[in-house]
């Protein structure tokens, strides 16, 4: 007998097992009645489950044959996990769902509740990377659909869970603040994931954040669904571990069911969903499942599982479980189950044949189109719009910031945040210590008192959770301004920015967005509070994130309009902006001499916001020298301005160009500033390798600049404590020496 493939075996075994079922009761059963005692699952619902599950199974089989035909590009399937259809049946179609890559039957079961859906086609279009695929437009194979409230995920396991926690939190918060949200007030968030994923630190952090929030008495309507097949690719999750780790946790209600029993699954899902909806507290729904066909098409599971173990799973097929139920309840005869199954096979094949010739993304422009929309005129108009005078007055009291005299960088950011809170009712500011204390450096001082703890609040100490809250808040109509206390502490959570925030418009073809302005205190040169972690000068990790905006204001006069621009870009274009604030300049007052107050600036009132507008990617030039251009940003700006003044006294004409934006770089202006002197010295406080100066050199070369260029950058080192820091950071002496060499 010829050997058969795992796909054929699965298919044949299911059909044979259904045919072998005892013929069932005579006469048509009442489909509106529960299928068994002590369940609310009706006959109609059971048949809908079977359809969703069988459809999902045939999509998995199609993924394999499309791959074999060289026409499909993705083979991770849902076979063995189809019990998740019962979860979709137990929640509502407007409950936002963030799905595991094996939640295909959930997707189909939800779509069946929303008229006009074509879920088989959606998934098949995804498999062949078709441009018309409804969520990612050929950019990824993922379960997502705006009309179905299914938010697309990346392939990074568990990375969607901080967002799910943020989303669950934001459903209620948006309502409380009177912000129009896409989610009904009584919605719950559903997030599914695998068993191995529960051990990922992103999952443990997110689940902890959910528990802690609920423990505090705050709403956290989150249904966590663990689809437990006992394996993470080839690695076994210890027996009982998922239950041991998640039952009995504070503020988390644990539910479980055997995935091959549709009634048990539905009942547990319904009970869990009802609990979450009514109590606004999180629940963990643990479904015991099996995984058919290996991890993916390329995975020969026979290399790490015995034949006997693989064969034993066939009896636990969730699809067979539903068939057994339906036949036993007299709803369909075995032959009718097979007919439905075969009809779905035919439909899937027919659609697959239609979609195989679909157009894929055909140009770089088409691929990157939705990455980061950019409407500078609208952003400029939005940035110039202040809150209504009464809102400003209640924000500032009778003393408006424009009447307060010159301000420091920290004060200017504080006043701009207050103006932002007055101008955007949906704006929320949060992070570690930003509320009651007003920030480690006082930047958010007074905001919680004036705007209330609903809008300005402290979070738990977990940067992933902070960014995840931003991600979920943005999806709920809020305009989040999370703070990361120090640049060094962005790195442990960086994927939430890189993999999640920045990719959302890309992987949803612009249908979902997570606007956000992440304030990050960072960079070196702090006197007194030293060491690497409070003086991190590494920004390489931000510079290559597609579409991310990176702003570095060096002074009060720039910080205010730049922050307004970021808020407006987030609001108008859904931009993800990092606003990197140089800690060492927060409270700096003087530039050239002690007491000159030259680093302070008065705050511009709203009547001057239009003229003071700073577009994204617009740098700022100082001076008109024709001998040398110093290109810099952040702490490099005051150092360069001081050096320029000393060189001017020696008869050298220097101009200084502050990039202000590290992404996108002001390339055109940069070239013009460089060509005015033909000699460029880049003053870069970040590291020599992977730092900003590499980007500046490349931008100049790309723009066709052919003059000389040199750079001073900080050492490829972490920053040591105390005065030793000066050995690795760029100094004014370094700048002067390098300038001398360039001028020679």
Ligand X SMILES: Cc1ncc(C[n+]2csc(CCOP(=O)(O)OP(=O)(O)O)c2C)c(N)n1
Tell me which residues are annotated as active site: 534
Q: What are the DSSP calls for 479-494, one per residue? A: EEEEEES-GGGTGGGH
Least distance from C-beta 227 to Mg ion, angstroms? 7
| Residue of this chain nearest to Mg ion (CB atom) | 194
Query: Which stretch, 193-201, 277-285, 698-706, 726-734, contacts Mg ion (CB under 5 A)?
Result: 193-201
- Find which of Mg ion, ligand X, none residue 102 binds, CB within 5 to 8 Å per kind: ligand X
- Find which of Mg ion, ligand X, none residue 714 binds, CB within 5 to 8 Å per kind: none
Token pair for 435? 């509320």
- Find which of Mg ion, ligand X, none residue 335 binds, CB within 5 to 8 Å per kind: none
Check residue 233 for interaction with ligand X (CB under 6 A).
yes
Token pair for 199? 């051990």
Residue from 597, 14, 601, 125 nearest 353 by CA:
125
Length of the chain: 744
Least distance from C-beta 237 to Mg ion, angstroms? 7
- Which positions from 528 to 567 touch ligand X by CB under 6 A, shown as an x/- string? ----------------------------------------
Least distance from C-beta 87 to Mg ion, angstroms? 16
Q: Residue holding tokens 């799910």? A: 164
- Find which of Mg ion, ligand X, none residue 233 binds, CB within 5 to 8 Å per kind: ligand X
Closer Cβ to ligand X, 142 or 641, answer by number:
142
Question: Of residues 195, 317, 557, 658, which one binds Mg ion by CB under 5 A?
Answer: 195
Question: Which neighbouring-strand residues pair with 189?
Answer: 222
Token pair for 418? 């207050």
Q: Please, are residues 252 and 284 in contact by the beta-carbon 8 Å criterion?
A: yes
Determine the longest span between alpha carbons in the chain, in angstroms: 105
Q: Please, are residues 169 and 472 in contact by the beta-carbon 8 Å criterion?
A: yes
Least distance from C-beta 227 to ligand X, angstroms? 6
Closer Cβ to ligand X, 289 or 712, answer by number:
289
Query: Which stretch, 70-78, 148-156, 227-235, 453-461, contacts Mg ion (CB under 5 A)?
Result: 227-235
Q: Please, are residues 197 and 268 in contact by the beta-carbon 8 Å criterion?
A: no
Closer Cβ to ligand X, 192 or 511, answer by number:
192
Q: Please, are residues 485 and 519 in contact by the beta-carbon 8 Å criterion?
A: no
Question: Of residues 229, 476, 635, 669, which one binds Mg ion by CB under 5 A?
Answer: 229
Q: Using CA atoms, how far apart are residues 125 and 127, in angstroms rounded to an integer?
A: 5
Mind spelling out the 3-state secondary structure of 2-52? CCCCHHHHHHHHHHHHHHCCCCCCCCCCCCCCECCCCCCCEHHHHHHHHHH
- Find which of ligand X, Mg ion, none residue 197 binds, CB within 5 to 8 Å per kind: ligand X
Q: Using CA atoms, how far apart are residues 91 and 221, in angstroms rounded to an integer?
A: 12
Query: Which stretch, 223-231, 299-307, 346-354, 442-450, contacts Mg ion (CB under 5 A)?
Result: 223-231
Check residue 234 for interaction with ligand X (CB under 6 A).
no
**Residues in 76-135 that interact with Mg ion by CB under 5 A:** none
**Residues in 145-204 that interact with ligand X by CB under 6 A:** 155-157, 194-197
Backbone conformation region of residue 657, classed left if phi is above 0, alpha if psi is from -120 to 50, else beta? beta
**Residue 301: DSSP 8-state:** G
What per-residue string of b and e applies to 351-370 under the rule 16 or more CB within 10 Å gives b? bbeebbebeebeeeeebebb
Check residue 102 for interaction with ligand X (CB under 6 A).
yes
- Find which of ligand X, Mg ion, none residue 498 binds, CB within 5 to 8 Å per kind: none
Q: Using CA atoms, how far apart are residues 720 and 626, in angstroms rounded to an integer?
A: 38
Give, for 287, the enclosing helix (H) or strand (E). strand 283-288
- Find which of ligand X, Mg ion, none residue 157 binds, CB within 5 to 8 Å per kind: ligand X
- Which positions from 283 to 322 touch ligand X by CB under 6 A, shown as an x/- string? --------x---x---------------------------
Least distance from C-beta 197 to ligand X, angstroms? 3
Closer Cβ to ligand X, 161 or 585, answer by number:
161
**Site size for ligand X, by CB under 6 A?**
15
Least distance from C-beta 219 to ligand X, angstroms? 28
Burial of 105 (0-12, 13-18, 19+ CB in 10 A): buried
Least distance from C-beta 305 to ligand X, angstroms? 13
Check residue 326 for interaction with ligand X (CB under 6 A).
no
Closer Cβ to ligand X, 232 or 376, answer by number:
232
Check residue 499 for interaction with ligand X (CB under 6 A).
no
Q: What are the DSSP calls for 491-545, one per residue? A: GGGHHIIIIIITTHHHHTTTSS---EEEEEEE-S--SSS-SGGGS----HHHHTS
Closer Cβ to Mg ion, 231 or 473, answer by number:
231
Least distance from C-beta 231 to Mg ion, angstroms? 5
Q: Using CA atoms, how far apart are residues 598 and 177, in angstroms rounded to an integer?
A: 40
Question: Which neighbouring-strand residues pair with 520?
Answer: 484, 580
User: CA 281, 284, 286 angle in degrees (round to 5)?
Assistant: 160
Mind spelling out the 3-state secondary structure of 202-240? HHHHHHHHHHHHHHCCCCCCEEEEEEECCEECCEECCCC
Closer Cβ to ligand X, 200 or 455, answer by number:
200
Least distance from C-beta 231 to ligand X, angstroms? 5
Least distance from C-beta 235 to Mg ion, angstroms? 9
Closer Cβ to ligand X, 102 or 277, answer by number:
102
Query: Which stretch, 69-77, 116-124, 166-174, 225-233, contacts Mg ion (CB under 5 A)?
Result: 225-233
Q: Using CA atoms, how far apart are residues 317 and 71, in angstroms rounded to an integer?
A: 28
- Find which of Mg ion, ligand X, none residue 155 binds, CB within 5 to 8 Å per kind: ligand X
Least distance from C-beta 311 to Mg ion, angstroms? 19
Backbone conformation region of residue 236, classed left if phi is above 0, alpha if psi is from -120 to 50, else beta? beta
- Find which of ligand X, Mg ion, none residue 492 binds, CB within 5 to 8 Å per kind: none
**Residues in 236-265 that interact with ligand X by CB under 6 A:** none
Burial of 46 (0-12, 13-18, 19+ CB in 10 A): buried
Check residue 194 for interaction with Mg ion (CB under 5 A).
yes
**Residue 442: DSSP 8-state:** S
Closer Cβ to ligand X, 232 or 540, answer by number:
232
Closer Cβ to ligand X, 232 or 442, answer by number:
232
Closer Cβ to Mg ion, 195 or 685, answer by number:
195
Q: Residue holding tokens 């290399």? A: 303
Check residue 226 for interaction with ligand X (CB under 6 A).
no
Question: Of residues 108, 111, 231, 488, which one binds ligand X by CB under 6 A?
Answer: 231
Residue from 198, 210, 204, 200 nearest 165 by CA:
210
Residues that bind ligand X (CB under 6 A): 102, 155-157, 194-197, 227, 229, 231-233, 291, 295
Which residues here bind Mg ion, judged by CB under 5 A?
A: 194-196, 229, 231
């Amino acid at each position: 007998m010829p050997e058969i493939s795992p796909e054929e075996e699965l298919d044949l075994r299911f059909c044979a097992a259904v045919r072998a079922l005892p013929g069932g009761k005579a006469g048509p059963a009442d489909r509106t009645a529960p299928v068994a005692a002590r369940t609310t699952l009706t006959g109609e619902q059971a048949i809908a489950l079977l359809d969703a599950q069988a459809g999902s199974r045939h999509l998995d089989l199609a993924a394999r044959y499309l791959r074999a035909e060289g026409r499909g590009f993705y083979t991770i399937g849902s076979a063995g996990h189809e019990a998740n259809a019962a979860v979709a049946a137990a929640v509502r179609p407007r409950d936002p769902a963030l799905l595991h890559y094996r939640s295909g039957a959930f997707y189909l079961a939800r779509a069946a509740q929303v008229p006009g859906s074509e879920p088989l086609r959606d998934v098949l279009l995804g498999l062949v990377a078709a441009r018309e695929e409804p969520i990612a437009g050929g950019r990824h194979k993922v379960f997502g659909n705006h009309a179905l409230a299914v938010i697309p995920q990346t392939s990074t396991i568990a990375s969607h869970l901080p967002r799910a926690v943020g989303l669950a939190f934001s459903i209620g918060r948006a309502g409380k603040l009177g912000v129009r949200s896409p989610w009904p007030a009584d919605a719950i968030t559903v997030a599914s994931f695998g068993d191995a994923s529960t051990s990922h630190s992103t999952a443990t952090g997110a689940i902890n954040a959910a528990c802690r929030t609920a423990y505090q008495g705050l709403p956290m309507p989150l249904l966590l669904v663990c689809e437990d097949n006992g394996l993470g690719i080839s690695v076994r999750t210890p027996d009982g571990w998922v239950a041991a780790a998640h039952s009995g946790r504070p503020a988390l209600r644990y539910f479980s069911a055997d995935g091959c029993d549709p009634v048990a699954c539905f009942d547990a899902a319904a009970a869990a969903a009802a609990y979450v909806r009514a109590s606004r507290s999180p629940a963990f729904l643990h479904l015991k499942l099996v995984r058919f066909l290996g991890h993916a098409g390329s995975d020969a599971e026979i290399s790490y599982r015995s034949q006997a173990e693989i064969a034993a799973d066939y009896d636990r097929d969730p699809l067979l479980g539903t068939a057994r139920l339906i036949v036993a309840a007299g709803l369909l005869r075995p032959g009718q189950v097979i007919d439905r199954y075969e009809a779905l096979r035919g439909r899937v094949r027919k659609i697959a044949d239609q979609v195989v010739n679909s157009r894929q993304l055909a140009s770089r422009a088409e691929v990157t189109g939705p990455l980061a929309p950019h409407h500078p005129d609208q952003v400029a108009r939005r940035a110039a719009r202040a809150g209504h005078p009464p809102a400003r007055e209640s924000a500032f009291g009778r003393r408006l910031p424009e009447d307060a005299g010159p301000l420091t960088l920290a004060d200017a950011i504080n006043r701009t945040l207050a103006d932002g809170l007055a101008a955007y009712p949906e704006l929320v500011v949060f992070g570690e210590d930003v509320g009651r204390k007003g920030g480690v450096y006082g930047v958010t001082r007074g905001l919680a008192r004036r705007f209330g703890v609903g809008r300005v609040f402290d979070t738990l100490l977990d940067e992933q959770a902070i960014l995840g809250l931003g991600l979920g808040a943005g999806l709920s109509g809020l305009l989040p301004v999370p703070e990361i206390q120090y640049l060094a502490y962005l790195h442990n959570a960086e994927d939430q920015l890189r993999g999640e925030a920045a990719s959302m418009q890309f992987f949803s073809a612009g249908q979902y967005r997570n606007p956000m302005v992440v304030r990050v205190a960072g960079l070196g040169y702090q006197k007194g509070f030293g060491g690497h972690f409070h003086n991190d000068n590494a920004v390489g990790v931000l510079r290559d994130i597609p579409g991310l905006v990176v702003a570095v204001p060096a002074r009060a006069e720039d910080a205010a309009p730049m922050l307004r621009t970021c808020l407006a870009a987030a609001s108008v274009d859904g931009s993800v902006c990092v606003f990197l604030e140089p800690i060492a300049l927060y409270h700096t007052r003087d530039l050239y001499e002690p007491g000159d107050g030259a680093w302070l600036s008065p705050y511009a009132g709203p009547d001057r916001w239009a003229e003071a507008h700073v577009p994204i990617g617009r740098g700022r030039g100082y001076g008109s020298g024709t001998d040398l251009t110093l290109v810099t940003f952040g702490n490099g700006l005051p150092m360069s301005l001081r050096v320029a003044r000393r060189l001017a006294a020696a008869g050298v004409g220097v101009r200084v160009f502050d990039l202000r934006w590290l992404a996108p770089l002001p390339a055109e202006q940069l070239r013009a500033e460089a060509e005015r002197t033909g000699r460029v010295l880049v003053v870069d406080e970040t590291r020599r390798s992977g730092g900003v100066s590499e980007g500046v050199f490349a931008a100049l070369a790309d723009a066709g600049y052919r003059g000389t260029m040199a750079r001073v950058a900080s050492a490829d080192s972490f920053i040591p404590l105390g005065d030793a820091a000066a050995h690795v950071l760029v100094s004014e002496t370094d700048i002067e020496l390098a300038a001398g060499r360039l001028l020679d």
